[in-house]
Structure 1
Amino acid sequence: MGYLGRHWRFRASVSVVLPRVVKETGYLVTDAGGTSPTPSSRPAHRTVALRVLSAGVFALAGLIFWTSFDTAKGVDIRSDDPLPKLSDNVRGKSSHNEQLEKQVAADRGDVDRLTRQGSAGLSTAERRRIDGLDAVVGTDPLTGPSVQVTLNDAPPDAAALVPGVPDPQPNDLVIHQQDLQAVVNALWQGGARGIQIMDQRLISTSAVRCVGNTLILQGRVYSPPYRVTAVGDPKKLHQALDASPAVQNYLQYVRAYGLGWKVSERSATTLPGYAGSVDLHYATPVSPP
């Protein structure tokens, strides 16, 4: 700022030095005692290299300019149109799995019908034993009094509701896998005869997995709010939820940041039978070559 308005005058002193002797090395010896390369000693390839370098710099500058111009028009340089969106792919697979489950349920109904026809000669005790196993496996519908637990994410702009509690991080405002597992385990501990998450019945091999803020259950994808319904003694189910340390830990976040939590009772609820595959996949030893 202090130099604005100033006019700088440059003085140049020019001294002419005449060459005196040309050595065999290709250098001129001047009267000042110095040397300077003769024109014949300068490598010719240096000029070519400079031209190539200049062309490369101009090409790179042009590419950057064109990219900036294209982006300024609103083009998303991160998009990849030929590739389908992952979310669309997941929804498509989930819908396909739902159709397959309906087909499996229909086929299982045919198998059950044929099984009943083939078991006409069984005794009453044997039939009761088979029916009892079906109820434990979870492939048959189950009706009875129930408790439904609903969990939901907090609003994305939620703030701390309790004085002295730090502001929430993004992970504090969403339902996690451990929260759903805590509710399911507590309901089993409370003597639940059957449990359903959303519209699917749980069996012994069911796995509750969350990716981000979505639930993946038996090949299908769900978003919050999540509803967990358990058929059993409502009083014992309530007591099990209150006695679970993991559930109580989740309730601390409910009070602190406003995560969703609702427990309701129903006099009569029918849980559908499990309609997916019951085949077990397990590791087998590999024989040495």
Structure 2
Amino acid sequence: MASQSHASPGRRRVWRVATPVVVILSGTLFAVSAEQSDGTDLRGGRLTDLGSVVRAERDEAGDLTAQVADLTTEVESLSAELGDRSVARAQDEIATLVDPAGLTEKSGPAVQVTLDDASFDARVAYEGDPNDLVVHQQDIQAVANAMWNAGAVAVTIQGQRVISTTGIKCEGNVVKLNGLSYSPPYVVVGIGDPLRMEAELTTDPILATYRDYTDEPGGGVSWDMTELESATAPAYTGLLDLTWATPIPE
């Protein structure tokens, strides 16, 4: 009896079906691998190139760090240069403002105006308002303003340098100037062109009204205007900061 050297018909049919399936799956895996690798080795090549990638990234990081250092140095240099220019510019501006602000001494030809109240007897005998025969803050301010309008480079009142923040205030029969009280006579000196200042002082309407009360019977307020060959206005040495009232916290 002959031996059974071949598999049964059922098993042969299984292999005929399984073999093509295995071939198809293998081809699919190869295709996927080829697409993912994009033509490069997915294993050995990647491990071999990793060191090169690290070195390349390290070299690039070193180059960028050096570039940052160079740019930082350049920025610091430009900032220092800008700072020097800013300081120099600020110093130049301060230098140009110190003089007109009244912080330097000024000397030169001047005009002096002296204002004084009428005598006590004249005020008692006066039939009008006794306040007409006393010097008020607006009279002193009018003298200073007329001098400024005529181009005065410096003005003093009672020897004090007048600046933009100088306040003149009447308190009773005295005038307070920069916190100090003064009684008449009030002496105002303007340094500048005497002719221009005298012309302005003569035509100022407020001062013209003031002079109307100099000729009152029995004596009125006094007005004396004198040209000085030279006078000196000291530098202002008081406070420069402005202060103001603030509400009390509840």
TM-score w.r.t. length of structure 1:
0.51
Match of 1:217 in 2: 177
Displacement, 1:147? 0.4
- Kindly indicate whether the alpha-carbon contact (under 8 Å) linking 2:123 and 2:133 is maintained by their aligned counterparts in 1: no
Is 1:194–2:154 an aligned residue pair?
A: yes
Root-mean-square deviation over aligned CA pairs: 3.0
- Kindly indicate whether the alpha-carbon contact (under 8 Å) linking 1:182 and 1:247 is maintained by their aligned counterparts in 2: yes
In 1, distance between residues paired with 2:161 and 2:177? Answer: 10
Match of 2:114 in 1: 150
Match of 2:228 in 1: 266
Match of 2:214 in 1: 254
Matching residue within 97, 104, 108 for 1:140: 104
In 2, distance between residues paired with 1:170 and 1:286? Answer: 40
- Point out the structure with max Rg over C-alpha: 2
Displacement, 1:283? 6.4
- Kindly indicate whether the alpha-carbon contact (under 8 Å) linking 2:124 and 2:130 is maintained by their aligned counterparts in 1: no
**Deviation string for 1:236-271 (max 9, x for gaps)?**
101111121001000001122421110011111110
| Aligned CA distance change for structure 1 residues 247 and 276 (closer, same or farther; 3 Å) | same
TM-score w.r.t. length of structure 2:
0.58
**Deviation string for 1:65-99 (max 9, x for gaps)?**
xxxxxxxxxxxxxxxxxxxxxxxxxxxxxxxxxxx
Is 1:182–2:142 an aligned residue pair?
A: yes
- Kindly indicate whether the alpha-carbon contact (under 8 Å) linking 1:144 and 1:270 is maintained by their aligned counterparts in 2: yes
Is 1:237–2:197 an aligned residue pair?
A: yes
AA at the equivalent of 1:259: V
- Kindly indicate whether the alpha-carbon contact (under 8 Å) linking 1:141 and 1:271 is maintained by their aligned counterparts in 2: yes
SS at match of 2:189: strand
- Kindly indicate whether the alpha-carbon contact (under 8 Å) linking 1:160 and 1:168 is maintained by their aligned counterparts in 2: no
AA at the equivalent of 2:95: D
* Aligned positions of 1:104-143 closer than 5 A: 129-143=93-107
SS at match of 1:172: helix
Is 1:279–2:227 an aligned residue pair?
A: no
In 1, distance between residues paired with 2:247 and 2:130? Answer: 44
Match of 1:85 in 2: none
Displacement, 1:148? 0.5
Question: Number of residues paired by the alignment?
Answer: 165
Match of 1:206 in 2: 166
- Kindly indicate whether the alpha-carbon contact (under 8 Å) linking 1:156 and 1:173 is maintained by their aligned counterparts in 2: no
| Aligned CA distance change for structure 1 residues 232 and 124 (closer, same or farther; 3 Å) | farther
> Identity of paired residues, percent?
41
AA at the equivalent of 2:121: D
**Deviation string for 1:39-79 (max 9, x for gaps)?**
xxxxxxxxxxxxxxxxxxxxxxxxxxxxxxxxxxxxxxxxx
Displacement, 1:168? 3.9
In 2, distance between residues paired with 1:125 and 1:191? Answer: 28
